[in-house]
Amino acid sequence: MDRAPMISVIGAGDAPAAVCAVARELGREIAARGAVLINGGLGGVMRAAAEGAREAGGHTIGIIPGYDRGSANQFAEFVIATGMGEARNAIIVASSDAVIALAGEGGTLAESGFAKKFGRPIVAIDAWPEIDGIHRAENPAAAVELALSLASKSGRSRNA
Amino acid sequence: MDRAPMISVIGAGDAPAAVCAVARELGREIAARGAVLINGGLGGVMRAAAEGAREAGGHTIGIIPGYDRGSANQFAEFVIATGMGEARNAIIVASSDAVIALAGEGGTLAESGFAKKFGRPIVAIDAWPEIDGIHRAENPAAAVELALSLASKSGRSRNA
Amino acid sequence: MDRAPMISVIGAGDAPAAVCAVARELGREIAARGAVLINGGLGGVMRAAAEGAREAGGHTIGIIPGYDRGSANQFAEFVIATGMGEARNAIIVASSDAVIALAGEGGTLAESGFAKKFGRPIVAIDAWPEIDGIHRAENPAAAVELALSLASKSGRSRNA
Amino acid sequence: MDRAPMISVIGAGDAPAAVCAVARELGREIAARGAVLINGGLGGVMRAAAEGAREAGGHTIGIIPGYDRGSANQFAEFVIATGMGEARNAIIVASSDAVIALAGEGGTLAESGFAKKFGRPIVAIDAWPEIDGIHRAENPAAAVELALSLASKSGRSRNA
């Protein structure tokens, strides 16, 4: 089986509307290209990206911090209840073929750190100009295209 | 969105052929009823159950212990790389609406413990006669039917 | 450096006074033999065992489920805030040279499963007659002596 | 019981000698002020900091990624075997009253992210000029003094 690539979209759980609109568009682009969206399963950027992916007919996975699956947003199709709190960031990144980052706080910084550690390509839109080794894209479509291209090059191990 | 129920099938990674045949039939029954199979994503019972579910057109999630997604069996449609080792058992159980247990070793005992702790119903086929509070079924179809019925009664929190 | 052995005492967080008295005596015996007590850091058996160990001048480590160190009992000398919920059981067991089990619920069953999985010897006092491979002792002193003896035989890897 | 503060020193597992010398001095300063050193328990900065702390008579805790306690450095007095891989960074930070960061790679970035997320003060020596909200110190003694002062102010919850 050739697995579909998984792309995570990371960003704040209480992002402003403009950032959420970008996240939703990212979700749509990810699904339109046949990739799976994976993220933290809660609100803000997480919810918006999942909504976009579902609108475009894609699969979505929400990796939530607690054990209560009712806390996941309604667009998380498959909910993984980790009970791992913030450490779930490592799971999200390790399960992704590429990471797309929007503006965020500490959680996003941790995810960027894991992306470096695990060798996952990371693409930013208007975020993290101060961190080395992050790729840049100007809009959602370009970000998803770049993420999938980088994932493909980086010798993905997700296929048996 | 009304999420599909998730059922885990737990058992040994190096189970004999007869046990794997039961696992495969469980996977088929789970998929046939529209539920999602979730388990540890490796070999033996995990692989057989996923194979059955995919044959019947269902979705499968493999929660693997390491970071190498290439270690997952080919029937794990969505691979979650936890890097959490044996502690991933807690994630599998917490993400399930019900657990079906086949014969296994320590890992399975741990999963049964988590099922009790998280209040997830657990159904056994030829396993764990010595542990209280486990439901019994005589064959795969009966086990899946019972698991879904118990999951439905236990006030599932997976839907928003 | 030759590290002191670590022994975990597992049991319910809301145990009756008689069980807590046994736990406290276990803590004293562990400390008296120069071993370190490690457990889940909360109430009931966890608190009583830590109290006994501190009374006898020993070190105690509490591996708590959340991020709030204020939730640990006052006898946990070193508090490790896992944020890992119930999955912390795997950490407690993997960090122990031997496990002593008192009566408990699901969490304890999970810990017994991990002890089997990780090859840690497990000694029970009045608990788990139904599970194979558990050693028995009739009182706290005998349990600690047996636990240390089994730990020593099982080729501990804790020393560099 | 008034618990001793815990300070983590984070940095690369294969740091050059000059960085390790700073780490060792940090360990000494931490122990000299009665604080406990906690870190990832392996080589490089982790080993050097633990060596310094033990030399000065302090306690050291190593939170290792795997289940093999033999992989810990010899100066880790208490070894916690998490089996959690890189996600153990969240445990280290959450268990610390303050974090001191030396130059490092992705793992260190992740730890900085968790420090922000958990509200733990973070002090850097020659590291992370590009990240907001990190305090600066010019030498080990000043870094430890600042870390303990910030920890004290931030309403530590480690005491019952």
Q: Tell me: the pLDDT tens digits for A37-83?
A: 999 999 999 999 999 999 999 999 999 999 999 999 999 999 999 99
| Nearest alpha-carbon partner for D49 in D82, D15, D96 | D15
Candidates C82, C114, C154: best to mutate against D (most CBs of D within 10 A) is C82
Candidates D36, D80, D84: best to mutate against C (most CBs of C within 10 A) is D80
Task: Map residue A6 onto helix, strand or coil.
Answer: strand
- Asked if B87's CB is within 8 angstroms of D85's CB, the reply is no
Please, what is the end-to-end C-alpha distance for chain C in angstroms? 8
Q: Tell me: the pLDDT tens digits for B19-70?
A: 999 999 999 999 999 999 999 999 999 999 999 999 999 999 999 999 999 9
Cα B154 to Cα B146: distance, rounded to the nearest angstrom = 12
Residue C21 has pLDDT above 50, yes or no: yes
Cα C59 to Cα A140: distance, rounded to the nearest angstrom = 54
pLDDT of residue A159: 41
- Partner-chain residue, chosen from B61, B81, B90, that has the shortest CB–CB distance to A83: B90
CA distance A6 to chain D (A): 20
Q: Tell me: the pLDDT tens digits for B94-105?
A: 999 999 998 766
Chains touching B by CB (3 or more pairs below 8 Å): A, C, D
Q: At what angle do helices D140-153 and D17-32 cross, to 10 degrees?
A: 50
As a dihedral over the C-alpha atoms of residue B14, residue B16, residue B18, residue B20, rounded to 10 degrees, the angle is: 10
CA distance C133 to chain D (A): 21
| Nearest alpha-carbon partner for C4 in D38, D78, D81 | D78
CA atoms within 13 A on the CB side of C21: 4
- Asked if B115's CB is within 8 angstroms of C106's CB, the reply is yes
Q: What does DSSP assign to residue B70?
A: G
CA distance D70 to chain C (A): 5
Percent of chain C with pLDDT over 90: 66
Q: Tell me: the pLDDT tens digits for C123-151?
A: 988 766 666 778 999 999 999 999 999 99
Q: Give whichever of A153-157, B111-115, B136-140, C29-33 has the largest mean pLDDT.
A: C29-33
Q: Which amino acid is at B28?
A: R
Burial class (CB in 10 A: 0-12, 13-18, 19+), B129: exposed
pLDDT of residue D107: 59
On chain B, the residues whose CB falls within 8 A of the CB of D85 are 66-67, 83-85
Task: Map residue D149 onto helix, strand or coil.
Answer: helix
Cα A27 to Cα A38: distance, rounded to the nearest angstrom = 10
Q: What does DSSP assign to residue B72?
A: S
CA distances from B42 to A160, B8, B47, D68 (A): 12, 13, 6, 22
Residue of B nearest to C85 (CA): B90
Model confidence at B160, pLDDT cuts 50, 70, 90, reads: very low
On chain B, the residues whose CB falls within 8 A of the CB of D80 are none
Chains touching D by CB (3 or more pairs below 8 Å): A, B, C
- Asked if A158's CB is within 8 angstroms of B69's CB, the reply is yes
CA distance B73 to chain A (A): 7
- Asked if C158's CB is within 8 angstroms of D69's CB, the reply is yes
| DSSP-assigned letters across all residues of D43-103 | STHHHHHHHHHHHTT--EEEEESSS-GGGS-TT-SEEEE---GGGHHHHHHHT-SEEEE-S
Mean pLDDT confidence for C71-98: 94
Residue C107 has pLDDT above 70, yes or no: no
Choice among B58-62, C56-60, C105-109 with the minimum mean pLDDT: C105-109
Residue of A nearest to C82 (CA): A84
Residues of chain D with pLDDT under 50: 157-160
Q: Tell me: the pLDDT tens digits for A16-31?
A: 999 999 999 999 999 9
pLDDT of residue B73: 97
Residue of B nearest to C119 (CA): B106
CA distance A85 to chain C (A): 6
ipTM of this model? Answer: 0.92
Name the one residue in this structure whose structure tokens are 């789970």: B30
| Nearest alpha-carbon partner for B147 in B5, B25, B3 | B5
CA distance D42 to chain C (A): 11
Phi, psi of C140 (to 5 degrees): -55, -45
- Asked if C117's CB is within 8 angstroms of B105's CB, the reply is yes
| Number of Cβ within a 10 Å radius of residue D34 | 12
